[in-house]
Amino acid sequence: MPKPSIAIGMVGYKFMGKAHSNAYRQINQFFDLPLRTRLKTIVGRDANKVAAMAERWGWETSTDDWRRVIDDPEIRIVDICSPNNTHYEVALAALDAGKIVACEKPLAMNGAQAREMAAAARGKINTVWFNYRRVPAIAFARQLIDEGRIGRIFHFRALYLQDWTLDPSVPLLWRMDKDVAGSGVTGDLHSHIVDLSNYLAGEITAVAGTSRIFVNERSRPEGGASKVEIEDASIFVAKYADGAIGHFEATRFANGRKNGNTFEINGEHGSLYFDLEDMSRLWYFDSREPKHIQGWRKISVWEEMHPYMKQWWVPGCAIGYEHTFGNQAADLIAAVAADRPMKPDFDDGLRCQLVLDAVLEACESDRWVTVVKQ
């Protein structure tokens, strides 16, 4: 008997559109899921380009009207990977139509929008694509923390470093357009490391920081030029509810760094270190070992018992960036089939967004800002 299928409608078709399409196409082969994903409709503003995307990635139909996925009774999952300023309207319409919503990060343009979205989603299955939670080494870090291996956390220290806007001739693409993106590296990159901190280190209560715009004017892809209004780089420090302190840096001006996402966590019994550019590895230091053999242990997270690894290849055949989306898509389909909640959800998206709002305010005002309670 063929498995029942679940129809997906996707709004957006560029970088994340590919990442999500690839995930939905792969997971039934690698995971034993009760439902088969059906890539039904993909939406984009440019009808020709989205039609080409549909053809290439195996979507049944394409359209330039996002309401078609909302109005289609066959579609159960609405996946939103269009620019940030579209998330709010599309997600609310989809939730109102009873759809399961999977939304790219950051969830919204600001905390106020995210609060409404989280309220509308509560009690329903939904998720935010904080895909790095599904890097096996990061899920494994969470496992080690839950096992008490590093004990009470004192420090969370994260860097997210890129360099793709360093060249002043790079035009003002949507990620640099305040009206479309809402913010610069704060929504784009801090969102990932703040979510990882929420996942691994606990609740951030207050932040102080500074940000910079290094290139003040850029050409527009459609012609002309505009003043740049989003931050190119941002550094902040954080206080946690349980007394830990944190340090976060996000930039698109770290010459030579392409997707340098690293963090270190220092606890009372040990420490953990992760680097996305060597993503099969988790570094672990255990200070309860006898001193003469203490040292940083480089764990290759590719054994069968490590999170998600049993589903992919044999140990030593490492997996990569795309698999983090596969892992999340598979968890989503499994959650839908079992009718159980999925994490991270819109409440996690809101939690992150409230920290991001506080970071933007802190950088603007040069003051400590208390994170608004969820």
Residues that bind ligand SOE (CB under 6 A): 15, 162, 188, 259
DSSP secondary structure of 93-115: HHHHTT-EEEEPSSSSSSHHHHH
Q: Which residue has the tokens 């012609």?
A: 223
Measured from the CB of residue 22, what is the shortest distance to ligand SOE in angstroms? 14
Classify strands 61-63 and 36-43 as parallel, antiparallel or unpaired: parallel
Measured from the CB of residue 162, what is the shortest distance to ligand SOE in angstroms? 5
Residue nearest to ligand SOE (CB): 188
Measured from the CB atom, the residue of 8 and 176 that comes closer to ligand SOE is: 176
Measured from the CB atom, the residue of 264 and 322 that comes closer to ligand SOE is: 322
Measured from the CB atom, the residue of 257 and 306 that comes closer to ligand SOE is: 257
Measured from the CB of residue 314, what is the shortest distance to ligand SOE in angstroms? 27
In single-letter form, the type of residue at position 207 comes to: V
- Centroid of chain to Cα 320: 15
Measured from the CB of residue 96, what is the shortest distance to ligand SOE in angstroms? 27
Angle between helices 111-121 and 346-365 (to 10 degrees): 170
Q: Which residue has the tokens 């078609």?
A: 68
User: Which H or E run includes 18?
Assistant: helix 15-30
Dihedral (Cα; 78, 84, 85, 87), 10-degree rounding: 20
Measured from the CB of residue 41, what is the shortest distance to ligand SOE in angstroms? 24
d(CA 100, CA 256): 39
Measured from the CB of residue 373, what is the shortest distance to ligand SOE in angstroms? 27
Measured from the CB of residue 214, what is the shortest distance to ligand SOE in angstroms? 16
Q: Please give the C-alpha separations between residue 183 and each of 180, 188, 205, in angstroms, as whole numbers.
A: 9, 8, 21
Measured from the CB atom, the residue of 15 and 296 that comes closer to ligand SOE is: 15
**DSSP 8-state class, residue 355:** H
Measured from the CB atom, the residue of 192 and 239 that comes closer to ligand SOE is: 192
**DSSP 8-state class, residue 347:** H
- Centroid of chain to Cα 371: 20
Dihedrals phi, psi of 330, to nearest 5 degrees: -65, -40
- Centroid of chain to Cα 291: 38
Measured from the CB atom, the residue of 150 and 176 that comes closer to ligand SOE is: 176
